[in-house]
Amino acid sequence: MKAELNHKYKLVIYNGRVKVYIDGYVIVSFNQLEFLGYYNYKDDTDLYGCDIYLKGQNIMEVYFKTKENWLAFIKILDNEL
In terms of Cα–Cα distance, which of 41, 75, 47, 76 is closest to 60? 41
In terms of Cα–Cα distance, which of 31, 68, 32, 28 is closest to 51? 28
pLDDT at 38: 87
In a domain, residue 15? The reply is yes
In a domain, residue 13? The reply is yes
d(CA 34, CA 68): 28
Domain span at residue 64 reads 9-80
In a domain, residue 23? The reply is yes
Residue by residue, pLDDT tens for the chain (81 residues) are: 454 568 899 999 999 999 999 999 999 999 999 999 888 887 667 789 999 999 988 999 999 888 888 889 999 989 988
In a domain, residue 22? The reply is yes
- In total, how many domains does the chain have? 1
SS3 label, residue 30: strand
In a domain, residue 59? The reply is yes
In a domain, residue 4? The reply is no
pLDDT at 68: 86
CATH of residue 36's domain is: 2.30.29.30
